[in-house]
Amino acid sequence: MTSTRYYTRREMLALGASAVVTTAASTAINSASAQSVTAPVLSRAIPRSGEKLPVIGLGTAIIFDIGSDTVQRAERTKVIHTLVDGGAKLIDTAPSYGTAESVVGDLLADMKVRDKVFLATKVRSNDNNAFAAQMKESQKRLRTPKFDLMQMHNVGFLDRAMVASQLAILREWKAQGVLRYIGVTHSQDQPRANERLIELLRNDKLDFIQVNYSMAERSVEERLLAVAAENGTAVLCNLPFARAALFRAVQGKPVPDWAKAEFDAPTWGQFFLKYLLAHEAINAVLPGTDKVEYMVDNLNAARTRLPNAAQRKRMVEFIGQV
């Protein structure tokens, strides 16, 4: 299977930038990371249950596909410690992310923090027997008998009858206590995916949906987020930096002073995340990172003020001009 290459913030800082620019940008992030470290991370209630979930999570695509590499595993361990110690808990993975599930499972077991993590993974198959078998394999790889969230992955490739039958399987597993929440994801051709998700939201009582949402991909704002809110479904955002396209767009440019003064966004990472978090239908964002300083920066985006509607409009206009 062909994988899409995701770039970390560290890599994007290096692309086309001199050592001086890279050092300056890293210094700015490290300085911003020190702010408001005692303030709590914003949490929002999962609509179906009222359970509070911190709005900053950790995505594991590509970045946790590291196999048995001990150096990289040590880096990822520090990132997870930073997430948990910083007051967040959501980690999202999938069988299709290479070795990511196994790596996450091993690290959580070694760190003895499984009970402190909200663990989400995914399942995808066009065969119901294989569907159930895949979830059992995820139990082994993640070294856990239970999942906090199981998501049907990219439901657009399944016909309606198959989606219905597989949601029934998930409900059985939920009734047995193996799953706490059920969701679906759809990230291929997001504008078209929105219509499929709206259909599912109106026909099925889904606990979660996961979508592509960033300042570079805002189609979910047109109708999907409102429908999710109306139907009591939590929303997770993947690709909040649009596969680093947003960092490429602002490379070498300072964060505008008004963003720092009006809603406490000293870094571009916080600028991009705060835009998403300011939408109350969003329960959590899932940026991936392999560096502690970026994990801290992500957490700090949810510790301070968020932009209001007028400020969000100004943010869109600003990014549209860079």
Return the higher-pLDDT residue of 245 and 190: 245
Q: Give a yes or no: residue 211 inside a domain.
A: yes
Q: Give a yes or no: residue 228 inside a domain.
A: yes
- pLDDT at residue 221 tops 70: yes
The total number of structural domains in the chain stands at 1
Q: Give a yes or no: residue 2 inside a domain.
A: no
- Which is nearest to 81 in space by CA: 112, 59, 51, 120? 112
Q: Give a yes or no: residue 1 inside a domain.
A: no
- pLDDT at residue 9 tops 70: no
What CATH number is associated with residue 49? 3.20.20.100
Q: Give a yes or no: residue 222 inside a domain.
A: yes
Lowest mean pLDDT among 9-13, 163-167, 266-270: 9-13
Domain boundaries, position 287: 9-321
Lowest mean pLDDT among 52-66, 97-111, 174-188, 259-273: 174-188
CB 235 within 8 A of CB 90: no
Q: Give a yes or no: residue 195 inside a domain.
A: yes
Residue matched to tokens 């077991």: 109
pTM above 0.85, yes or no: yes
How much of the chain, in percent, has pLDDT values that exceed 70?
88
Residue matched to tokens 């490379």: 251
Q: What is the per-residue pLDDT across 140-176, written as a single tens digit (0 to 9) for each?
A: 999 999 999 999 998 877 788 989 999 999 999 999 9
Distant-in-sequence contacts of 159-167, Cβ < 8 A, 24+ apart: 162/126, 163/200, 164/204, 165/128, 166/123, 166/125, 166/128, 166/131, 167/204
pLDDT reported for residue 14: 40
Q: Give a yes or no: residue 166 inside a domain.
A: yes
Lowest mean pLDDT among 7-21, 113-127, 200-214: 7-21
Residues β-bridged to residue 120: 92, 149
- Give the pLDDT band (50/70/90) at residue 190: confident
Q: Give a yes or no: residue 263 inside a domain.
A: yes
